[in-house]
Every structure is written in C-alpha cells, then in structure tokens.
C-alpha cells in the first residue's frame, strides 16, 4: 500500500511541486465547486496512478489546485465509495496521498440522511463526531508508522477550533447545526429499524462515506472538518420511500448555499492556518 501511495504522491509532486496547505473532498451537492476557481493545475483521476475514477453521477473525478487567501488548496471532486466493491485501502488512497503531500487540514463533505428530528432536507450540518457501524476500518492491516501510530486517538476527529470558525461563517448563510454521523456501508438505504438503532446510540445523520477518510486523516495528524448536506429524512423518520433522485434533487437545490458557505469557510480556514 505504501508503494502505491508514494507512487501517486510522487506523480503529483513532479507535476505540481508547490507546498499545499488545505484540501477538500467534495460529496453530493458540491459537484462543480472546483469550477468556481481559477485552476493553477488540474488532473483527471485517470491520470493519477492508483486513483479510482468515481462512478456516481455529479462528480467529475478531478483534482484541482487553486489559491485561496494565498494558500494552495486542492479540491478533490469525487470519491470512490466502499459499496462500489473496492478494497477499503483503495477508497482512502487519495486521503493518504494528501497526507503524504503534507496537507495540514482537510474538509470533507457528503450527502446524508437526517435522523435528528430537528433536521430538514436542505440543512447543512457540521459533524461533531462519528460512529463506525460497518465493522471495517481503513487502518486494519500493517500500520504505516511513517503516517501515524498503531492505535490512533479519535477523541476529537472533527476539529473543535475549525467548527467554531464554521459556526461564525454559517451565520451569514444558514442556521448552524452539529451532529453525529453514523457510517453504514450502503448501497441499500437503511431500514427504519437500523435508523432507530442509530438514533438510539446517538447518531443524528446516516451516510455511506466520510468516516474512512476522516480516520486516515486523523491517523496522520491532519485537522479534519466535515459537513453533511441533509438530502432526506432517514428511513422511518419520514414515511416516504427514499430514492437517489430525491437525494440529487435536494443536493442541487442547496448547492448554491453550500458552495457559497464553503468558499468563505475555506478563506477563513486558510487565514487561520
Ligand atoms: N442514508 C444513507 N446515505 C444517504 C442517505 C440516507 O438516508 N441520504 C443521502 N445519503
């Protein structure tokens, strides 16, 4: 695995040798965000060794380098999901590569189902913690000591200081909320009983991504911030059946607010680091 990571990061270092400060991985609702900046450099995932081309619509599968408040920021548009059948190590490879490129902070976005009854479709929620319900973990296997310890601390996965910045920025855009995200493998949406279970153990959101990326980033000491776009109420919280079309529709509707917020958030983060 380490050889694959090094091969990918070496390719990027050769093509774009500048120091990189921040990174963002875009989920549903953030597709096209990279196009709102002037790129310093851009790659298709298919050009980067070992990167998986995303199969889910709405994402281009590009890595774009931009400058925000004089800090180089890399935007990853599109991710592979565990439910697509890839090895979990390959899912987190781009995040591992980011850490090998010495990135100091990472923002992750996703679409999620709302479990907390105070949430409505279209809400943007900052993650305050997560619960891994998959029984898998991207750090299973030989530890890469160069990146981080065998038993990494996970007591503050989602950086408190950056969440405070998010709260301040959010004031201009939406009502700031925080929640706990439960990671299910998918690709099925959850059953009402599973959602009820997640709620009982403290989850506010359910989704199929983000947690593996957050785990390997924290392992490597990267500060993480993550946001869910609530595209639907989770199964059983509302009576209506779930569909991917509904997820896409709400994601598209909220996209403008999410992207405007994110631009300002990235500016503030880059000024703070
Ligand atoms: N469950 C899991 N993942 C999701 C959902 C959901 O209800 N909505 C969007 N992504």
pLDDT for res 57: 64
User: Does the pLDDT of residue 215 top 70, yes or no?
Assistant: yes
Q: Positive or negative CA dihedral for 161, 163, 166, 168? A: negative
* Residue 149 confidence (pLDDT) above 80: yes
Q: Which residues contact 214 (CB under 8 A, 6 or more apart)?
A: 108, 127, 130, 157, 158, 224, 226
Is position 60 annotated as part of the catalytic site? no
Q: Cβ distance 73 to 22 under 8 Å?
A: yes
Is residue 9 pLDDT above 70, yes or no? yes
Ligand 1 close to Cβ of residue 242 (< 6 A)? yes
Tell me the three state secondary structure of residue 238: strand
Q: How far is CA 79 from CA 13, 171, 178, 212, 234, in A?
A: 21, 29, 23, 11, 22
**Identified catalytic residue from 8, 28, 110, 255:** 28
Q: Atom 2, ligand 1: which residue's CA is nearest? A: 207
Mutate to test the pocket of ligand 1, among 112, 181, 195 (most ligand atoms within 8 A of CB): 112
Question: Which one of the listed residues 9, 105, 110, 209 is annotated catalytic?
Answer: 209
Q: Is the pLDDT of residue 1 over 90?
A: no
If you search the block for the tokens 């990135």, which residue do you land on? 103
Q: Which of 203, 207, 191 is nearest to 81 (CA)?
A: 207
Tell me if residue 154 is catalytic: no
pLDDT band with cut points at 50, 70 and 90 for residue 162? very high
Supply the pLDDT for residue 56: 66
CA of 236 to the centre of ligand 1 (A): 12
Averaged pLDDT score across all residues of the chain: 95
Question: Could you tell me the distance, in angstroms and rounded to a whole number, from the CA of residue 192 to the centre of ligand 1?
Answer: 12
| Per-residue pLDDT, 173 | 96
**Shortest-distance Cα residue to atom 3 of ligand 1:** 207
pLDDT over threshold 80, residue 82: yes
pLDDT at 201 over 70: yes
Q: CA 112, CA 107: separation in Å to the nearest integer?
A: 16
Q: Which atom of ligand 1 is nearest to the CA of 184?
A: 2
DSSP state letter for 45 = G
Residue 208 designated active-site: yes
pLDDT by residue (tens digit) across 14-47?
Answer: 999 999 999 999 998 788 899 999 999 999 999 9
Burial class (CB in 10 A: 0-12, 13-18, 19+), 120: exposed
Strands 177-183 and 71-77: unpaired
Return the residue whose CA atom lies nearest to atom 10 of ligand 1: 112
Tell me the pLDDT tens digit for each residue of 90-137: 999 999 999 999 999 999 999 999 999 999 999 999 999 999 999 999
Rounded to 5 degrees, φ, ψ at 106 are: -130, 135
Residue 113 near ligand 1, beta carbon < 6 Å: yes
Quote the CA–CA distance of 228 and 111 in Å, as a whole number: 5
User: What is the chain's alpha carbon radius of gyration, rounded to the nearest angstrom?
Assistant: 17
Q: Is 28 a catalytic residue?
A: yes
How high is the pLDDT of residue 55?
77
Model-level pTM? 0.96
For residues 191 and 250, which has the higher predicted lDDT (pLDDT)?
A: 191
Q: Write down all domains in the chain, each with its CATH number in brackets.
A: 2-272 (3.40.50.1580)
Catalytic status, residue 30? no
Phi, psi of 91 (to 5 degrees): -65, -40
Q: How high is the pLDDT of residue 59?
A: 72
CA 232 – CA 47 distance, rounded (Å): 35
pLDDT band at 221 (very low <50, low <70, confident <90, very high): very high
**b/e per residue 210-228 (b: at least 16 CB within 10 A):** bbbbbbbbbbbebbbbbbb
What is the pLDDT at residue 58?
A: 64
Catalytically annotated residue among 208, 217, 226, 251? 208
Rounded CA-CA distance 107/215 in Å is: 13
Select which of 8, 9, 105, 232 is catalytic: 232
153 φ/ψ angles, rounded to the nearest 5 degrees: -70, 135
Residue 168, SS3 per DSSP: helix
Mean pLDDT, residues 234-253 taken together: 90
Using the 8-state DSSP alphabet, how is residue 35 labeled?
A: G
Q: Which residue has the least CA distance to atom 9 on ligand 1?
A: 112
């Amino acid at each position: 695995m380490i050889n694959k990571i090094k091969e990918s990061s070496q390719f990027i270092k050769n093509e774009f040798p500048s120091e990189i400060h921040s990174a963002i991985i875009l989920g549903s609702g953030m597709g096209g965000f990279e196009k709102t900046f002037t790129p310093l450099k851009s790659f298709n995932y298919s050009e980067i060794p070992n990167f998986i081309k995303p199969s889910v619509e709405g994402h281009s599968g590009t890595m774009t380098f931009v400058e925000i408040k004089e800090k180089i920021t890399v935007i990853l548009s599109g991710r592979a999901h565990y439910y697509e059948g890839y090895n979990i190590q390959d899912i987190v490879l781009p995040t591992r590569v980011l850490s090998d490129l010495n990135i100091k902070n990472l923002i992750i976005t996703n679409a999620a189902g709302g479990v907390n009854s105070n949430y409505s479709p279209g809400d943007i929620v900052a993650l305050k913690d997560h619960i891994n319900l998959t029984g898998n973990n991207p750090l299973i296997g030989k530890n890469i000591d160069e990146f981080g310890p065998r038993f990494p601390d996970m007591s503050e996965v989602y950086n408190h200081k950056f969440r405070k910045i998010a709260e301040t920025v959010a004031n201009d855009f939406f009502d700031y909320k925080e929640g706990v995200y439960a990671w299910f493998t998918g690709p099925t949406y959850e059953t009402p009983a599973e959602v009820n279970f997640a709620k009982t153990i403290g989850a506010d959101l359910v989704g199929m991504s983000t947690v593996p990326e957050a785990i390997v980033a924290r392992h490597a000491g990267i500060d993480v911030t993550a946001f869910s776009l609530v595209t639907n109420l989770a199964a059983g919280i509302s009576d209506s059946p779930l569909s991917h079309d509904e997820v896409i529709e709400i994601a598209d509707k909220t996209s403008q607010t999410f992207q405007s917020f994110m631009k300002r958030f990235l500016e503030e983060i880059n000024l703070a680091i």
